[in-house]
Amino acid sequence: MKDALGYYEILEINSVEDIADIKSKYHKLAKYWHPDSNKDPQAMEHFQKISVAYEVLSDEEKRLKYDMLSQIYNSSNFPDMDNLSIIKSKNNEENPFVRIIMLQKVIGKIFSYSVKTDKLVCSYIQAKQEVLHYSFINWFCGWWHPKSFILNAKAIINNIKNINSNTTDNLVLWIHNAVAYHQAGQDTKAIISVQQAMQYGDLTQRKLLNDFINSLNIKLPQKNISWRSKNLIFLQLIVPFLMVLIASYPYFQSISLNKYMNKNNEITYFQKVKLNNGTEIVDDMVVSKIFSIPINVNDNTKLYHLKSSTKILYGPNDNFDVIAQGKSQQTVRITGFTADKSWYRIMLDDGSMGFIPKNSIEQGVGTPPPYGSKIIP
């Protein structure tokens, strides 16, 4: 048993002594060191130390608090047991489910750099926000200096490792808050803190924590918020994941377009030949696949005009017959295009459709369509 302030040592007892033995030992020491009978210059000081130690160790509740706090503090940082403040989250909230996370951020400034390590008391929701915040800083700001480049790589690795490994600080947090919540009359929160401390405590610490729970004599709460460490680790890597996703977007887009054209919206286009006698024949050979654009006469973005007088063909190839002779500046509506966009399918004023080469057309209205044209409302 740790003895942070030396109370057991002052009374010359060990941690397993019962109250009767403590009282007996105190009376003997008090009688010996009382300044009325002991003329040693240090008698008064020693007598006062004995009295303080006895006041704590002779009271079961105070003794248990002292034993618990001795597990996490030493003589230099031991708090005032009667006035413990609850350790709150970074947003100044009382939450028994808080933890301490340690995050490092590196900022490169071309000619200089800065490195900062923070210990943050967070709820799980706050931890996700902070992890994401530090991750964005490191991934976007940490590389702009030769030294910071290496330090930033180490910081990213350490931040991932530290997500669920800061056991010492968290043990201090939970044991401290267990005592502090009890003093504030919030025993349910005190037990929640104890239950979390049980995860990391050694045998002695777990025995003290069990004794603390038994001393409260209340029903153990069932609710327990687990920290999803894997989610927090993923948040550390979400930035490079998004960067890879963005970089690969054109590739996946091209695959999707090919699938769309090959399966969903392709038009099997057959060669049509118009004979001199007015009859038509259709060759059974597929010559092209056309990407179709839905016709919406209210969509002016699909209105184009011919740059010059142009032959309008039955199909997307110079070998097709001519439907009509387009005039320079004639306004038409785009209704489709070939896969390589070398040919456009257009709609004429009378509703018929044909093909023209890409380089013979420009976006925008040329000559206004005549009254009754089917390419406009």
DSSP collapsed to 3 states, the chain: CCCCCCHHHHCCCCCCCCHHHHHHHHHHHHHHHCCCCCCCCCHHHHHHHHHHHHHHHCCHHHHHHHHHHHCCCCCCCCCCHHHCCCCCCCCCCCCCCCEEEEEEEEEECCCCEEEEEEEEEECHHHHHHHHHHHHHHHHHHCCCCHHHHHHHHHHHHHHHHHHHCCHHHHHHHHHHHHHHHHHCCCHHHHHHHHHHHCCCCCHHHHHHHHHHHHHHCCCCCCCCCCCCHHHHHHHHHHHHHHHHHHHCHHHHHHHHHHHHHHHHCEEEEEEEEECCCCCEEEEEEEEEEEEECCCCCCCHHHEEEECCCEEEECCCCCCCCEEEEECCCEEEEEEEEECCCCEEEEECCCCCEEEEEHHHEEECCCECCCCCCCCCC
Q: Is the pLDDT of residue 284 over 50?
A: no
Q: Is the pLDDT of residue 355 over 50?
A: yes
The span from the CA of 220 to the CA of 213, in Å, is 8
The 10 Å Cβ neighbour count of residue 316 is 24
The span from the CA of 189 to the CA of 30, in Å, is 39
The span from the CA of 176 to the CA of 88, in Å, is 11
Q: Is the pLDDT of residue 282 over 60?
A: no
pLDDT given at position 278:
58
Residue 211 included in any domain = no
Residue with the larger pLDDT of the pair 184 and 161: 184
Per the document, the length of the chain is: 377
Residues 136, 180 share a domain? yes
pLDDT given at position 273:
46
Domain final residue pick, 63, 80, 97 = 80
Residue 255 included in any domain = no
Residues 298, 238 share a domain? no
Q: Is the pLDDT of residue 5 over 90?
A: yes
The span from the CA of 249 to the CA of 241, in Å, is 12
> Whole domain around residue 130: which residue ranges?
81-198+218-247
Residues 96, 108 share a domain? yes
pLDDT given at position 256:
56
Q: What is the pLDDT of residues 80-121, one digit of tens each?
A: 998 999 999 988 999 999 999 999 999 888 888 889 999 999
For the residues 322-347, what does the mean pLDDT come to?
A: 90
Q: Find all residues with CB under 8 Å of 55, minimum gap 6, and list them.
A: 62
Q: What is the pLDDT of residues 152-162, one digit of tens each?
A: 888 888 888 88
Residue 347 included in any domain = yes
The span from the CA of 15 to the CA of 18, in Å, is 9
Quote the tokens at residue 219.
Answer: 């029903």
The span from the CA of 170 to the CA of 197, in Å, is 8
Residue owning tokens 């030493």: 74
The span from the CA of 19 to the CA of 24, in Å, is 9
Q: Find all residues with CB under 8 Å of 34, minimum gap 6, and list them.
A: 43, 47
Residues 226, 93 share a domain? yes
The 10 Å Cβ neighbour count of residue 104 is 21
Residues 63, 86 share a domain? no
> CB–CB of 375/369 below 8 Å?
yes
Residue 368 included in any domain = no
Residues 274, 239 share a domain? no
Residues 293, 305 share a domain? yes
Residue with the larger pLDDT of the pair 320 and 9: 9
Helix axes 187-197, 203-216, angle to 10 degrees: 160
Residue with the larger pLDDT of the pair 152 and 78: 78
Residues 133, 56 share a domain? no
Task: Please give the torsion angle defined by the CA atoms of residues 159, 165, 166 and 168, in that order, rounded to the nearest 10 degrees.
Answer: -160
Residues 91, 76 share a domain? no
Radius of gyration of the chain measured on its C-alpha atoms: 41
pTM above 0.85, yes or no: no
pLDDT given at position 156:
87
Residue 85 Ramachandran class (φ > 0 left, ψ -120 to 50 alpha, else beta):
beta
The span from the CA of 377 to the CA of 373, in Å, is 8
Domain final residue pick, 80, 113, 138 = 80
